[in-house]
């Protein structure tokens, strides 16, 4: 293990019941802060330059925010399972999920060439700027990309260390670790399928759904729910219902992200609004648009949405017009609403207390962007 256990103690439960999801996220963030402080001290003991350039960037990126959805879903999974056992294990699992998310985002930005994340320069861009500012030799872009890979690697190492420490102290440690292992494999598989689809010019809806499920839906909702539920001792039909609820909500989350990647406001999302279109990345939105254009004999829309080289500003505008004209945007919006509703129906089969069901409903609304008949656009 890299360091001593966190000094953060188990949070005091309010007199009228257990922590809410919001309070649990705040407690997990306090746990995460303690973990990051300990890891930074260790990094400085290893090497001051590495600590400054790599370790401190991991900590800064994680502390810069995000929805903390994975932590909240892990908490809901634990509460749906009855909320028995060590609450600190759930909080530390949530903290590990946030570190894993940092790894995924940093690496994804490198692979996609995205310049912005959470309202600030992406890590590889920030490192390239640091290279230029320090007057280093060689390519600033190559340095930034290479160093960002290490930043993501370190976030993953810290996530694994924290989850392993938690599993070793839990009576459900073996099951917890197995869920974690499966999730990591799915993430890599989804990221590779994304790269593979880009390289092969894939355009089918089924392939887009496979990528979306592996790359995002499973590790955003289904696996966090299962991780929390396992720590509560869940098994059998209740765990199956949580997995089904999580898969639907996770896919709704990814479809919303697809829409934000084409039509979102960067001031709200904290990232560019045209990355997916500019790179002609395979998403369910583009795949549905191309299929509908071909079925309607709309040659202009089909040409605009077909796989190919990167798109410039004029082409991006034509792609947006095609997505509207073919009805693809409306189809995806309707699918998101349907998936969110299915998720809630699956969750109802867990037999969770009404208060937990209400919190899960609120989380699904945040993930899907569907709230009482309107939509929202938040940062992923």
CB 137 within 8 A of CB 182: no
Q: Is residue 285, in this structure, part of any structural domain at all? A: yes
User: How far apart are alpha carbons 362 and 380 in whole angstroms?
Assistant: 16
Q: How high is the pLDDT of residue 16?
A: 43
Paired tokens of 65? 């925010």
Residue written as token pair 């001051």: 48
Residue 42 lies in a domain: yes
Q: Is residue 1 domain-resident?
A: no
Q: Six-digit token pair at 35?
A: 């973990």
Cα 319 to the center of its chain, rounded Å: 26
Select from 227, 115, 228 the least CA-distant residue to 179: 227
Sign of the alpha-carbon dihedral angle for 351, 355, 358, 359: negative
- Signed CA dihedral, 89, 93, 99, 103: sign only: positive
Tokens for 259? 């829409």
Question: Closest Cα to residue 360, out of 18, 11, 9, 79?
Answer: 79
Question: HSE on the CB side for 324, CA within 13 Å?
Answer: 8
Asked, for residue 53, whether it belongs to a domain, the answer is yes
The partner residues of 374 in beta bridges, in order of sequence, read 371
Domains identified in the chain, total number: 1
How far is residue 146's CA from residue 365's CA, in Å, rounded to a whole number?
A: 37
In a domain, 331, yes or no: yes
Q: What is the pLDDT of residue 273?
A: 67
Domain that holds residue 278: 21-375
Please report, for residues 218, 294, 295, 310, the alpha-carbon distance to residue 335 in angstroms, rounded to integers and kept in the order given. 18, 20, 19, 28
Q: How far apart, in whole angstroms, are the C-alpha atoms of residue 304 and residue 284?
A: 16
Eight-class DSSP state of 279: T
* Domain CATH code at residue 55: 1.10.600.10
Question: The whole model's pTM is what?
Answer: 0.89
Single out the residue of 220, 196, 197, 348 nearest to residue 284, CA to CA.
Answer: 197
Rounded to whole angstroms, what are the CA distances from 344 to 30, 255, 304, 313, 332?
Answer: 30, 17, 37, 39, 19
Alpha helices of the chain — where are they, by DSSP H?
21-46, 48-50, 56-63, 69-80, 87-112, 123-133, 140-168, 173-200, 205-212, 223-231, 236-263, 266-269, 275-278, 284-296, 299-305, 313-325, 328-348, 354-368
Task: Report how far residue 329's alpha carbon sits from residue 301's, in angstroms, rounded to the nearest whole number.
Answer: 13
| 92 falls within a domain | yes
Residue 67 lies in a domain: yes
- Each of the 380 residues of the chain gets a pLDDT tens digit; together they read 333 333 333 433 433 457 888 999 999 999 999 999 999 999 999 999 999 999 999 999 999 978 899 999 999 999 999 998 889 999 999 999 999 999 999 999 999 888 888 878 999 999 999 999 999 999 999 999 999 999 999 999 999 999 999 999 999 999 999 999 999 999 999 999 999 998 998 889 999 999 999 988 899 999 999 999 999 999 999 999 999 999 999 999 999 999 998 887 776 666 666 778 888 889 999 999 999 999 999 999 999 999 877 778 889 999 999 999 999 999 999 999 999 999 999 999 999 999 999 999 999 999 999 875 444 444 33
pLDDT at 269: 67
Task: Give the DSSP H/E element, type plus range, for residue 371.
Answer: strand 370-371
Structure confidence at residue 270 (pLDDT): 65
């Amino acid at each position: 293990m890299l360091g001593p256990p966190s000094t953060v103690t188990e949070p005091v439960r309010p007199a009228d019941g257990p922590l809410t999801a919001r309070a649990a996220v705040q407690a997990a963030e306090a746990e995460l802060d303690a973990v990051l402080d300990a890891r930074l001290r260790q990094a400085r003991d290893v090497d001051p330059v590495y600590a400054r350039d790599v370790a401190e960037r991991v900590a800064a990126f994680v502390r810069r925010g995000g929805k903390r959805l994975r932590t909240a879903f892990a908490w809901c999974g634990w509460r749906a399972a009855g909320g028995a056992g060590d609450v600190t294990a759930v909080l530390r699992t949530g903290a590990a999920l946030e570190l894993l998310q940092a790894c995924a985002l940093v690496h994804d930005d490198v692979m996609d060439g995205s310049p912005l994340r959470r309202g600030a320069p992406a890590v590889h861009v920030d490192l390239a700027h640091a290279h230029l500012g320090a007057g280093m030799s060689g390519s600033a872009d190559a340095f930034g990309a290479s160093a960002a890979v290490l930043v993501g690697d370190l976030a993953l190492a810290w996530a694994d260390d924290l989850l392993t420490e938690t599993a070793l102290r839990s009576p459900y440690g073996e099951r917890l670790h197995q869920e974690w292992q499966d999730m990591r494999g799915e993430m890599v598989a989804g990221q590779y399928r994304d790269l593979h689809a880009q390289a092969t010019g894939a355009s089918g809806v089924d392939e887009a759904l496979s990528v979306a499920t592996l790359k995002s839906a499973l590790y955003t909702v289904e696996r966090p729910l299962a991780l929390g539920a396992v720590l509560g001792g869940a098994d059998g039909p209740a765990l199956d219902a949580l997995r089904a609820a999580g898969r639907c909500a996770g896919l709704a989350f990814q479809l919303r992200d697809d829409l934000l990647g084409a039509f979102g406001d960067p001031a709200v999302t904290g990232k560019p609004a045209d990355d997916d279109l500019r790179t002609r990345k395979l998403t369910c939105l583009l795949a549905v648009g191309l299929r509908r254009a071909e079925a309607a004999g709309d040659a202009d829309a089909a040409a605009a949405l077909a796989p190919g080289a990167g798109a410039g500003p004029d082409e991006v505008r034509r792609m947006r017009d095609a997505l509207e004209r073919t009805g693809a945007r409306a189809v995806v919006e309707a699918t998101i609403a349907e998936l969110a509703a299915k998720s809630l129906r699956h969750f109802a089969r867990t037999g969770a207390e009404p208060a937990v069901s209400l919190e899960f409903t609120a989380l699904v609304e945040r993930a899907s962007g569907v709230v009482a008949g309107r939509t929202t656009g938040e940062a992923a």
